[in-house]
Amino acid sequence: MNIAILSRDAGLYSTRRLRKAGEARGHKVEIIDHMKCVLVIEKKNPMVWYNGKRLDYFDAIIPRIGASVTFYGAAVVRQFEMMKVFTAVESQALIRSRDKLRSLQILSRAGLGMPKTLFMDYTRDTEGVIEAVGGAPVVIKLLEGTQGLGVVLAENKKAAQSVIEAFHGLHARIIVQEFIKEAKGADIRAFVVDGEVVGAMKRQAKAGEFRSNLHRGGEASLYKLNKKEKYAAITAARKLGLSVAGVDMLPSSRGPLIIEVNSSPGLEGIEGATKVDVAGKIIEFLERQGGQHKIQKDKVNA
């Protein structure tokens, strides 16, 4: 197969691992900077140009789209979809997962557990918002935040009110969530590929920090999911339409609580903690689904 990895940095661990895993299985793999792609929109002839050449020879793509470039990155993925190229992450699922509010609404409708969450339109009733999620401490998140950035723990009501008012003053959209004390600064990431959990890790925040993200200094260790956690992870990925996903959950007295579903989860932490060849699992998924997709495409073009 001819595989394209859509990534802005060929040196990133995840990009390098995916390329190595693909080549080890006999595939031709190229790294394409999606922000340098030119989309040609023409009747019945959609095309992607890159550095002066037509990208009309790929059988499958693996999107590694950063949150800050979701709009254009998703447009590039959509263009490949129009060209009948199989994608490990579909454009609509990518957009859906990046919208924190929409994704939480979808997961709530599916009956999955999550911390009590409030979203508001610059309300002045900050005291009412704080009480509605169970009182301080509360977690306040920017809707566009990633890797722990834009996430604040307000330990008392006065601090929470000040943070909410400050974000509102900047016209920033936020959500306010209850603080799950029994999680003790830890969360669980389950890595889902094609409807199966291929690995899971526990991430523990460093001393004095409540965010467990590895980018914030958290430590990862191997974790064995229980039945409820495995069900939550697989269902969350499926409901958001993601064939490759990192599902982040908090352990709690009322079961696993989903806090986020990542459509471009990093591989370094999960592979290091589990010793599982997750990159290889993604390539195997492309072989199963992308291979069948190629057969159907060839039949149509015959």
pLDDT value, residue 3:
97
pLDDT value, residue 142:
85
Burial of 170 (0-12, 13-18, 19+ CB in 10 A): exposed
Q: Which domains does the chain have, with CATH numbers?
A: 2-89 (3.40.50.20), 117-179 (3.30.1490.20), 182-263 (3.30.470.20)
Q: CB within 8 A of 167, min separation 6: which ones?
A: 140, 142, 174
- Mean pLDDT per 10-residue interval, the chain, length 302 residues: 97 98 97 98 94 96 94 98 96 94 94 92 84 91 68 90 88 88 89 98 74 61 96 98 97 93 95 97 93 57 52
Yes or no: say if 94 and 34 are a contact pair by the CB < 8 Å rule. no
pLDDT value, residue 292:
62
Q: CB within 8 A of 201, min separation 6: which ones?
A: 188, 189, 220, 221, 222, 223, 269, 270, 273, 274
195, amino acid identity: G
